[in-house]
């Protein structure tokens, strides 16, 4: 069975900044991370796949928004005084979790698509595990660490935690689709 996750491009596209090719590579890098989770016997899926710019998502799917930077935050549109992370932010809410990644955060990284995928997976952990800052101490380091880099790797604990929640009903905020 395939675990589908959705990515929404809410960033400004343009030559030399962020475009379709970048989105494809980011999605592919993120798929590789989710595929590692899917290899665990505790995961109900055996592979993952990604979709950009959905019009809706299923009740068991993950949705991550990509925005230009903190000044373009969707989280702040919902919760104006919310503190924002350096590379992304997740707002946990019974009305639907909202995860966003700041494209500008990876602009200077030599492997910016991989850096964005790592940031997206980190925010996915906050989202699906429904954990705020406590994720950084309890998530098993790796991609749950407070600061992640393009060369950060999944730990066994990261994989185990995510395998337990993939496919669970965790509402996502779709108001910006």
The C-alpha angle 16, 7, 22, rounded to 5 degrees, equals: 20
Give the CA-trace dihedral at 168, 47, 119, 84, to 10 degrees.
Answer: -20
Domains of the chain, each with CATH number or no CATH: 2-165 (3.40.390)
State in Å, rounded, how far the first CA of the chain is from the last one: 26
Q: What is the largest CA-CA distance in the chain?
A: 42
Whether the pTM exceeds 0.85: the reply is yes
Angle 58-25-171 from CA coordinates, rounded to 5°: 20
pLDDT digits (tens, 9 = 90+) for 123-177: 999 999 999 999 999 999 999 999 999 999 999 999 999 999 999 999 999 999 9
Q: Is the pLDDT of residue 101 over 80?
A: yes
Contact 65, 176 (CB under 8 A): yes
Structure confidence by residue, pLDDT tens digits, 18-34: 888 999 999 999 999 99
């Amino acid at each position: 069975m395939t675990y589908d996750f959705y990515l929404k491009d809410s960033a400004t596209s343009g030559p030399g900044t962020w475009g379709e090719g970048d989105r494809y590579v980011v999605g592919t890098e993120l798929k590789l991370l989710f595929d590692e989770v899917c290899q665990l016997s505790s995961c109900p899926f055996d592979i993952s796949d990604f979709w950009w710019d959905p019009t809706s998502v299923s009740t068991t799917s993950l949705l991550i928004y990509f925005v230009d930077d903190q000044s373009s935050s969707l989280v702040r549109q919902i919760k104006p005084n919310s503190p924002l992370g350096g590379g992304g932010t997740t707002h946990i809410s019974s009305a639907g979790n909202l995860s966003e990644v700041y494209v500008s955060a990876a602009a200077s990284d030599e492997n910016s698509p991989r850096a964005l995928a790592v940031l997206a997976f980190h925010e996915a952990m906050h989202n699906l595990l429904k954990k705020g800052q406590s994720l950084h101490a309890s998530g098993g380091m790796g991609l749950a660490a407070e600061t992640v880099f393009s060369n950060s790797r999944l730990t066994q604990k990261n994989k185990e935690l995510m395998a337990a929640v993939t496919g669970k009903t965790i509402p996502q905020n779709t108001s910006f689709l």
